[in-house]
Structure 1
Amino acid sequence: MIIVTGGAGFIGSNLIRALNLRGEKNILLVDNLANGQKMHNIAVLDIADYMDKTEFLQKIESPAFFKDVRAVFHQGACSATTEWDGQYVMTNNYDYSKRLLHWCITKKSAFMYASSASVYGNGKHGFRVGRDCEHPINMYAYSKFQFDQYVRQILPESACQIAGFRYFNVYGSREQHKGAMSSTAYHFNRQVIEQKKAKLFAGCDGLADGEQKRDFVYVDDVVKVNLWFLDHPEQRGIYNVGTGRAETFNTVAQAVINWHKEGAIEYIPFPEHLKGSYQSYTQADISGLRQAGYTEEFLTVDQGVSRYLDELNSAASQ
């Protein structure tokens, strides 16, 4: 059996879809469906069972719970970078992850988990997997950083595979339930359809309007990395998962406009509440991923947005 936590979420549901395409159906999907809109992500997926996160956490305390688990893809977390209830974030992102990690070690199951590029903070120290680059600037980032730190202590002693993936700006299918936390590609698409305008933040941190840069990575590429590690159980560690390219928000908006063959860019004031806790630049150092042996190329923004909108707008029209 394979377990996917956060399996009804964005990356989790795409992982299950890819596993299904491989013929894998013996999958336990763990999530919290308080947001029932997430059911649209999983209605077409084949799984063996669904379990609520609360019940799952109770079950893993039982020695008899699932003796033959090949791997756990731990994607479940509070992903809101604007959440400042530290107790809530640490309970959901840190404590939960620790308990599941130790359960996997006991069961000798592979443990692949979602970390985040947010651990690099404003990026002034670079985006290399290393303590000197890690300066989280919000609670979500801190929770991911602190779990990575915990994993670093466990790695040398563990006989099972442990791999953490620092996702950069992931976009693609099955993210619509995230609301305000959905990707800019998703929001720009809706805005161009409804208003003929893509709304971008005005310049900040000395940058021109819309020239903030992120490493935008298509969700299918993220899934490929996860499955590659499943196929290579000898690989372990913490890895950046991005394209290795920094592209502007203007580039994303223009890719959306080009797909629709209409629309324009409008710049809006930079939000006050994001000042001081916003990443104006990210670019993954993927040398660790390459050294591990991963050779697949990553889609550019133009390629990924085009593929995404083909699917997104086709589904909306049905």
Structure 2
Amino acid sequence: MAKWLQSTEHLRFAVQGRVARIALNRPDRRNALSWEMLCELRAALLEADDLRAVSVIVLEGAGPDFCAGYDMKSAYARYAAEGSAAPDYRSGSGSFDDDAWKLERFQELLRTAFVLHKPVIAKVHGHCVAGGTDLALYCDMVIAADDARIGFPATRAMGSPPNHMWIYNVGPQWAKRLLLSGDVVSGADAARIGLVVASAPADRLEEEVMALAGRLASVEPELLATQKRIVNLALELAGAGTLARLAAEMDARAHLSRAKQQFDADVAAHGFKAAVQKRDAPFGEGVARPSW
């Protein structure tokens, strides 16, 4: 296990052999992504990319979950403050263009793992939903616990993934199957459909992730960068960068829907947790399973 050398409100950072370990460190909030956490995460990823002693980066989550999505509690509070206390600046709850602009700023932070020279492995356990999937799918490879829950339930009422790497991992039909329903898949089934590179029993996840990280770390970092960057350039040529920009605009468009307006009204009247329960009630267990 990693011996954590640095710890902040939002992150833990360590170097273990030639592997940098970065852990989201808000377990009380299920590692929900706030603006402050993402700024720290970008700095930590760039630090690991800069260190000559590091060849590979592992991104993980402290506590029972990898990441339960965007921190909507702080987001709603921030939008309210922006609209009243800072009228000279854009508000995420303002116009369509204001919303897209804010989403693009988050997108730049989340995309950091993708643009680094060194490979990043996401170690996923527990919940990896909504913004958690945006973060994990920008990593170069994902290894998940068999019982992890991966998906974007927010598509049922709140919007669309503002960072859209789904189609590049699972193709159009499974991307539609998951995003049109908001259903989740287990880590084991995510491996079957190609959403993650592998899965393992929860008690062996650390072993599996570090075995792959150690294998990659035996290769010279400049060669690792060569292979990563040519594959990512292929993704760019396939439209990944353009699609991400369009995804932010589609999310802003989805925020204008009647479903999102009703969801926001439910949040105001009953609180976020109750609004989510109402949103998800028609979907029962809400799990998609491959038939094979």
More helix by share: 2
TM-score, length of structure 1 as denominator length: 0.30
TM-score, length of structure 2 as denominator length: 0.32
